[in-house]
Amino acid sequence: MTVEYTPAFKRTRRARSRDVLRELVSETALDAGKLILPIFVDARSSKVEDIVGMPGVSRYPIDRLADKLAESVELGIKNFIFFGIPETKDSTGSGAWHESGVVQRALAEARKSFGERITLFADTCLCEYTSHGHCGVVKGDNIDNDETLKLLARTAVSQARAGADAVAPSAMMDGQVLVIRNALDQEGFKETLVMSYSSKFASSLYAPFRNAAESAPKFGNRRTYQMDVRNRREALREIRIDESEGADIVMVKPALPNLDIITEARGFTDLPIAAYQVSGEYTMVKSAAAMDYLDEKAVMLETLISIKRAGADIIITYFADDFARLTD
């Protein structure tokens, strides 16, 4: 038989014709084990309280935390990052590093209840604990970078002592990774990881979180320390700096508006990259779905896949439990 070769257009649809084929050639896989669920712990409350503006997300008292973690662990979620709402706030945010602070107590309770079965991250910042709502020490109208570093280091050590597997500095102070890494090592916590909020942009998408954590600044804004959303090269430089200072994981926040940063960072760093799908991203999907404007499950999956496809190894998301239920 003589076979004649005739050039033809490429039929890429062949591999899309059936579910099993599409699954076979799929390039991006989502795994609940790569998700981190944010948890708000409230030292002032004795009951679980729904958060206005974040459907399905709540604040938990210490004595109800284990129940919440058990529910998520049963679904397959094993990684958590804690944010605290203290009983009182002051100008320096001293509740952030107090040995009986809300996050420290939450870490101890979680470790006691679940041992090594879960991974515990602690947000390392002052904004939730300061009366002015800024992430550092205020002097006049400015945030004092170097004085803030001392308090962040103190906070990180206290969190490691309470049981954190990883501390996550989010204040966007210059040198925060280096100072925290040195402090942890000097205090004997050489195995504690640092997951740095490396490229954290001054985003409008944080609004629901600031309501949940009661951490909105009382004056000015955070644009002198969080990044300008217009700057790509600066974001990549921040990631390189944090890697050089000893970060174990680097982070891009928010996730969806910065997929380009995730992809470019993936091209030069071998460190795990985390991406934070922030409160505003979550709330937009939930709100639109509540109005029947879109399919919540489909959009959730599409957004998470997009973040993963861009190059993120780890995704911090309020959708973690929802995703686990969908894929169980």
Per the structure, the count of domains in the chain is 1
- Predicted confidence at residue 213, as pLDDT, reads 80
Structure tokens at 243: 């890697």
Q: Are strands 142-144 and 137-139 parallel, antiparallel or unpaired?
A: antiparallel
Catalytic residue among 78, 89, 253, 308: 253
Catalytic residue among 68, 78, 200, 308: 200
- Predicted confidence at residue 141, as pLDDT, reads 82
Q: What is the dihedral of CA 274, 180, 203, 68, to 10 degrees?
A: 60
| 9 within some domain | no
pTM: 0.95
For 157, residues 6+ apart whose C-beta sits below 8 A from its C-beta are 97, 183, 184, 187, 189
- Predicted confidence at residue 328, as pLDDT, reads 66
| 15 within some domain | no
| 128 within some domain | yes
| 285 within some domain | yes
- Predicted confidence at residue 261, as pLDDT, reads 98
- Predicted confidence at residue 8, as pLDDT, reads 75
**Parent domain of 270:** 28-327
Q: Is 34 a catalytic residue?
A: no
Q: Is 200 a catalytic residue?
A: yes
The CATH number of the domain where 210 resides is what?
A: 3.20.20.70
Mean pLDDT of residues grouped by 10 in the chain (328 residues)? 74 90 91 97 94 94 97 97 94 94 97 96 95 89 93 98 97 96 98 97 93 80 92 98 98 98 98 97 97 97 98 98 90
| 85 within some domain | yes
Q: How would you class 7 by CB atoms within 10 Å of its CB: exposed for 0-12, middle for 13-18, buried for 19 or more?
A: exposed
Helices (H), 98-162: 102-114, 145-162
- Predicted confidence at residue 1, as pLDDT, reads 66
